[in-house]
Chain A
Amino acid sequence: MMIFIRFLTLALTVLSFAQIAAPTALRAEPLRIVIDEGVIEPLPFAIPGFVSPGGESAQYAAEITRVIAADLAGTGLFREIPSSAYISGVTSFDAPVAYADWKAINAQALVTGAVDVSGGNLSVKFRLYDVFSDAPLGEGLQFTGTVAGWRRIAHKVADVVYSRITGEGGYFDSRVVFVSEQGPKDARLKRLAIMDYDGANVQYLTDSGALVLAPRFSPAGDRVLYTSYESGSPQIYLLDVASVGKVALGTQGANMTFAPRFSPDGQSVVFSLEQGGNTDIYAMSLNGGNLRRLTQDPSIETAPSFSPDGSRIVFESDRSGTQQLYVMSASGGEATRISFGPGRYGTPVWSPRGDLIAFTKQNQGRFHIGVMRTDGSEERLLTASFLDEGPSWSPNGRVIMFSRESQGAEGASALYSVDISGRNLRRVTTPSAASDPAWGPLQN
């Protein structure tokens, strides 16, 4: 079941371009979205169905075009122009682009492509055009792989388009590990699952025989740390995604271990350990050796998260009387409180870019996902609902996925994503209720 697939054998085959000398006099501003400040008006783009020799290739061409368009439009930064508005079509990948026809419908970006399936292999070529500059933006590229991995190839194309226009890394060719939920609130069944970032290709990693909580991807995306009641009490486990093999990371003397996260080098785990009702933060090697206690307080210390350089850990503690966020050295020692607003702060997660910390905030009966700088300044709340919790960063640090649970006896949890600007709140479609998303790295 758990096939994955190193299929991007030929990732960067540069296609030749006929350099069409553009009439440079009217050259417009280069096509660019600067994400940082207030992208309110999405950039209109056109993506005519990728061309193909027909047959099976045509079916994949249509699906791949749709996935690329959905990736781009799903960011909220781009708006797809419906094909019904097109003046001219694209029937050949190498034919000259009729820029005037695309300008006339205000398509600022144009993506064209060609798909060819032969045997079990898939080849996708594409080009991105800056329509108002009458020129391609970057070189054409070709991705090849197996047909089974067609969605990944589509995501790769969308990642390149996104990167060229925004100047940021992409995030579409990535996966999310999460907890799939079924059943009523008081008898909920939970199992670990993995899916593409957009909710496709769901696979289950555990059965629902034991409660599982709060998984986290390894930096390379090949392993998952999580908490399970499999042994009767909550303990942390390490699971290999490809083989689905799992091992308990036993800790002697612990009543309960939970909240495990990988160090950025993927070699060790930082987690919470409870003994006699008191929860502190510990670290150890993934082979179970070198156990170190990082906090020594009678209060609750949990939800640790490493800075991307591995030097610091942000965590939550109620040592002040309520849950607040603190930063300490990765080797433990004195911690600095960084959250000071009204309410309670929990589940801090350091951004992969290192610049922000995402958190859950609880105030006056409402829950929020928010971000702040790593010194606690410039706090911004991105969401508000009855129960939002557990933010996780996209690989490029631009989007946050989290759980939102609805209120009442029939309340159920679902996954949502939101841009760090606070815009573009979207539900991520999952086959059943879902919680605790953890976004993995961009795949190779």
Chain B
Amino acid sequence: MKKLMIATMLVGALALTACDKNSRFGDDAMAAGAGAGDFAAGSPSDPTSPAYFNQTIGDRVHFAVDQSTLSAEAQDVLAKQAAWLMENTEYSAIIEGHADEQGTREYNLALGARRASAVQSYLIERGVSPSRLKTISYGKERPLAICSDETCYTQNRRAVTVLTAGGAGV
């Protein structure tokens, strides 16, 4: 009976990373092989750098539970994102929509798409060419913060504008 496969439980072997991962340029996209450009992020004080976009302007906006409406605060960030993208036409962007873990998997996929699309529409309204903006939903598959309470959930209900190399017409 040497062929018996006895399934064993993997107990407690899950390595955990720190909860706080702000401003990981391109990480979200690269983790999923979405093709983020591999270029230097530059300095947050250089207004033409991706680091400025990610940190000084802010690459993400947050949402209320089960909502995709853009708050005034979110609109403010997105207006600046749009202005930056209009100035720095050598970049395009993939907008990632995310949900927190409270929700079923497929619904959250659709909810993430709705959030990404809300950001995309806003940026287009503000003049960014639709050809430079793509969306992708990760639903609840890629939380940033991994605790199971509202302090983490608010960080996870987000849309992140991930810059990629290649501007209009590419």
Contacts and interface: CB of A to CB of B under 8 A. Distances in A.
A232 B101 contact: no
A346 B107 contact: yes
B148 A407 contact: yes
Given A302-B110, A405-B101, A59 B1 contact: yes
A52 to B, nearest CB: 13
Contacts of A318: 66, 107
Contact of B118 (A182, A277, A303, A389): A277
Nearest to B115: A277
Please tell me the size bucket of the interface on B: 35 or more
B139 to A, nearest CB: 8
Most buried by A among B3, B103, B105, B114: B105
Interface stretch (B27-35, B40-48, B55-63, B69-77): B27-35
A277 B116 contact: yes
15 contacts: A148-B3, A183-B14, A186-B17, A187-B17, A210-B32, A233-B34, A255-B113, A259-B109, A277-B114, A277-B135, A300-B111, A347-B104, A408-B147, A430-B7, A432-B10
Contacts of B3: 148
A219 to B, nearest CB: 21
Interface in A386-431: 386-387, 389-390, 405, 407-412, 429-431
A347 B106 CA distance: 8
A390 B35 contact: no
Interface of A: 59-60, 63, 148, 182-188, 199-202, 209-211, 213-214, 227, 229, 232-234, 255-256, 258-259, 272, 274, 276-279, 300, 302-303, 316, 318, 322-323, 346-347, 360, 362, 365, 386-387, 389-390, 405, 407-412, 429-433, 435-436
A185 B144 CA distance: 9
B7 A200 contact: yes
B92 interface: no
Given A303-B104, A362-B104, 5 more contacts: A256-B137, A277-B115, A277-B120, A316-B104, A409-B147
B105 A429 contact: no
B137 A184 contact: no
Nearest to B12: A410
Contacts of A303: 104, 106-107
A316 B18 CA distance: 36
B106 A259 contact: yes
B53 to A, nearest CB: 22
A408 B148 CA distance: 5
B122 to A, nearest CB: 11
